Amino acid sequence: MFKYILKKEFLLIFRDIHALLVLFIMPALFILIMSLALKDTYSNTSDVKLKVALVSQENKDIKLLVKNLNKNNYFSSQLIQSDDNKKLIYENDFDFVIQINKDFKNQINTNNKDFSIKTFSKPDISKQSKQLIENKLVEAISQQIMKDFFVKAKINAKTLATLNSKISSNYIYKNETFKTKPNSVQQSVPAWLVFSMFFILIPISNTFINEKEFGTISRIRSIDVSMLPLLLGKIIPYFVVNQIQVIIMILIGIFVVPLAGGDSLEINGNYFLIFAMSSSISIAAICFALFIANAAKTTEEATSIGGVSNIVLAALGGIMVPKFVMPQFMQDISEYSPMAWGLEGLLEILVRGGSFNDIKFYILYLLLFASICFIIAYILLIKKEKR
């Protein structure tokens, strides 16, 4: 009898075209869009440089300062002689305007208390960009002043000029053989994959509530089938759908995103660990969907409650906003989101080169969450059938 329950579920799944589009097209688009949008966040270069107008009178020091500011991958600077900062920002499309006296070196060396450097930008410019331009400005000015000091002291200043090239950035992985370079695709694929797996709630709740309303479950129960096989019959087909999602989203990260100009997803992690993690996420998502489907009275109610709860869990879990940009109290709250457990587990495998010991607690949390949701769903279903 159980095989017929499974057959029924698979038929219902593939008849619901709209739900399948949500499960496959939506995350594919999110992965593509977010991988391209966050490409520069994980890169040492930027496709779109911020435009900087250095407002001052031209002399040797100012020209050198502009040259030094342009020795980076984030800004494009040029000397401008204008007093209309608003026009430079809003009409000439400069991201930053820097006002500095042409005699800045002498004023700094003599500790002139009236000396100041003013920066101007639009109100919606990011704080990270403001901090970066300020740091680069201080670095460029410091190098010019130190170079003069070295020349006067007859010290070779070549080392100072090439100091940046002497600094190398290295990553430490948990697995020494793991050498995948971090990029936006490694962040986007796991994040939106977890999000899409939890959206299995929509087809499950629609079919389950319709079956209760049309008496399908009662008719199956009348031929002496217990509630447990009915619930298990929901888990297995949707588990298969979730694993198909995993394969397709990974393939999109490997082959489709690079075609659009993004980075390619590299899979250097253990495939068994990826399957173990995706299986745990899938079981948690399906059991959560069963809980919502049994708690709700109508498909509209289930879709509303499930959709809102999924978005909240995603927002708290680092799916929509990367966890590392959250304030500390938000990072602490995210520890209680099942989507965060799934995402962190996948990042351990795909980004940090982690082993089973690094993901075992995430798997435990997800399975515990799934067990609680399944038990509550089972109790609710039994109570409703007794009425």
pLDDT tens digits, 31-84: 888 888 777 666 555 566 889 999 999 999 999 899 888 887 788 899 998 888
User: How far, in Å, CA of 296 to CA of 294, rounded?
Assistant: 6
Q: What is the pLDDT of residue 190?
A: 92
Q: What percent of the chain has pLDDT over 70?
A: 83
Q: What is the pLDDT of residues 157-204, one digit of tens each?
A: 565 556 666 666 676 777 767 777 778 888 889 999 999 999 888 888
Tell me the pLDDT band of 97, cut-offs 50, 70 and 90: very high
| CB-based contacts of 214, cutoff 8 Å, min separation 6 | none
Mean pLDDT of all residues in the chain? 83
The reported pLDDT for the residue numbered 362 is 96
Place of tokens 């002043």: 145
Contact 185, 32 (CB under 8 A): no
| More confident of the two residues 111 and 214 | 111
Helices 271-295, 356-386: inter-axial angle, 10-degree rounding? 20
Domains in the chain, CATH or no CATH each: 2-40+183-386 (no CATH), 46-166 (3.40.190.10)
Residue 335 reports pLDDT greater than 60: yes
Name the more confident of 272 and 18: 272
Is the pLDDT assigned to residue 16 strictly greater than 60? yes
Mean pLDDT of 78-101: 90
What one-character DSSP code corresponds to residue 49? Answer: P
In this prediction the pTM is 0.77
* pLDDT higher at 249 or 230: 249
Residue at token pair 């494009």: 76
pLDDT band at 18 (very low <50, low <70, confident <90, very high): confident
The DSSP element (H or E) to which 188 belongs, if any, is helix 184-198
- pLDDT-derived band of residue 371, with 50, 70 and 90 as boundaries? very high
